[in-house]
Amino acid sequence: MQFKSFINECHKKEVFKLLSFYIVSSWVLLQVLAVTWEALGLPHTSVTYLIIFLLAGFPVFIFLVWKFRIAPLKKNEDVEEQEKLTKEFHKIYFSAIGVIGIICATAIFLIVGNTFSKNSVLPSAIHTDKIAVLKFGNNTGDPKYDIVGKMASDWVIHGITENQLGQVISEDVISQYNDMLRSGKSGEDQENMVRKYLKPARIISGNFYLNNGQLIFQSSITDGETNSTIISFKKNTCNSANALDCIKDLSESITGYLATSANKKLLLQERPPKYEAYKYLLDAKSTGSDEEQLALLNSALEIDPTYFEAKVLRVAYFYNQREFKKADSLLKLIKPDSHRNLRQLNLLNMYEATLKGDNRKAYEMLLREYKMAPFDLITNKTAMVLALQFVNRPQDVEEIFNVIKSDSVDFVNCSNCVERIYVKALADVQLNNYQKAINESQKVLAQIDSDILKKPLLQAWVRTGSVADLNNFLFQQELTATPENLLLLYMTAGKEYLLKGNNTTAEIYFKKAKNLGSQISDKHYLAEALFYLGDFARAEEVYHKLHIESPKSIDFLGKLAISNYMLGNNSEAEKNLHMLKNLRGPFQFGEVDYVLAQYDAMANKEDEMYLNLLKSVAEGHLFISTSFQNDPLFRKYINSDRFQKILKFWY
* Of the candidates 385, 397, 403, the residue with the CA atom closest to the CA atom of residue 428: 397
* Of the candidates 181, 204, 192, 201, the residue with the CA atom closest to the CA atom of residue 126: 201
Task: List, for residues 416-426, the tens digit of each pLDDT value.
Answer: 899 999 999 99
Mapped onto helix, strand or coil, the DSSP state of residue 137 is strand
* Of the candidates 624, 553, 586, the residue with the CA atom closest to the CA atom of residue 355: 586
Task: List, for residues 229-273, the tens digit of each pLDDT value.
Answer: 888 888 889 998 888 888 988 888 888 888 877 665 556 776 778
Task: Tell me the mean pLDDT in the region 440-452.
Answer: 94
Structural contact between residues 205 and 163, judged by C-beta atoms closer than 8 angstroms: no
Phi and psi dihedrals of 268, rounded to 5? -100, -5
User: What's the rounded Cα separation, in Å, for the pair 293 and 280?
Assistant: 9
Mapped onto helix, strand or coil, the DSSP state of residue 356 is helix
Q: What percent of the chain has pLDDT over 70?
A: 89
Q: Does the 265-395 domain belong in CATH 1.10.3470?
A: no
Q: So where are the chain's domains?
A: 3-115, 131-262, 265-395, 405-476
User: What's the rounded Cα separation, in Å, for the pair 332 and 313?
Assistant: 14
E strands within 437-532?
none
pLDDT at 266: 57
User: What's the rounded Cα separation, in Å, for the pair 446 and 461?
Assistant: 17
User: What's the rounded Cα separation, in Å, for the pair 494 and 492?
Assistant: 5
Q: Does the 131-262 domain belong in CATH 3.40.640.10?
A: no
Q: Give the N- to C-terminal CA distance of the chain in Å, as an integer.
A: 102
- Is pLDDT above 80 for 287? yes
- Is pLDDT above 60 for 85? no
Task: List, for residues 133-173, the tens digit of each pLDDT value.
Answer: 888 999 998 888 888 888 888 888 888 887 778 888 866 66
Q: What is the pTM assigned to this prediction?
A: 0.67
Whether 131-262 and 265-395 share one fold: the answer is no
